[in-house]
Amino acid sequence: MIKKLLTSAFFVLALLLVSQSTNAQSIYFCEGVTDDGYPITESSTFNIGSGGGYVYVLVRLPYEIACRSVRFEIYKGGAYDNTVYVDTEKNWVWFWKKITFYDAGRYEFDVYDCFDYKLTTGSVRINWR
């Protein structure tokens, strides 16, 4: 009896973990965004020229944002670099921002909603051409 109960509990827990991971927030670094909110030419590495270059940062959520603004906190090599704000609508489930980079390096992004809840994180490498 206890063995069946433990097996059932394990199965339910595994099912919950799988369903949460498929509904997780996602961040994409890409060359563009479709009208339906999907990344165009997604990558984790981009090459820019000496005058700089841009990358689209797309965030997709499994729920409506319920905020009028979100922020991207950007770190380069572990040190704070910049904060970028994105205007949103409360019913949006995805949003993007075109961000220009002037320096090579690895950039980490923390995305926060208007309640200071961390929505997602991700990183991108920017290389010189």
CA quadruple 41, 43, 85, 91: dihedral sign? positive
Give tens-digit pLDDT for 52-90: 999 999 999 999 999 999 999 999 999 999 999 999 999
**pLDDT tens digits, 81-128:** 999 999 999 999 999 999 999 999 999 999 999 999 999 999 999 999
94 within a domain of the structure (yes/no): yes
Asked if residue 100 belongs to a domain, the reply is yes
Q: Is residue 9 in a domain?
A: no
Asked if residue 14 belongs to a domain, the reply is: no
CATH of the domain at 53: 2.60.40.1930
Give the chain's domain count.
Answer: 1
Amino acid letter, 123: S
Is 76 inside a domain boundary?
yes
Q: Which residues form the domain of 51? A: 25-128
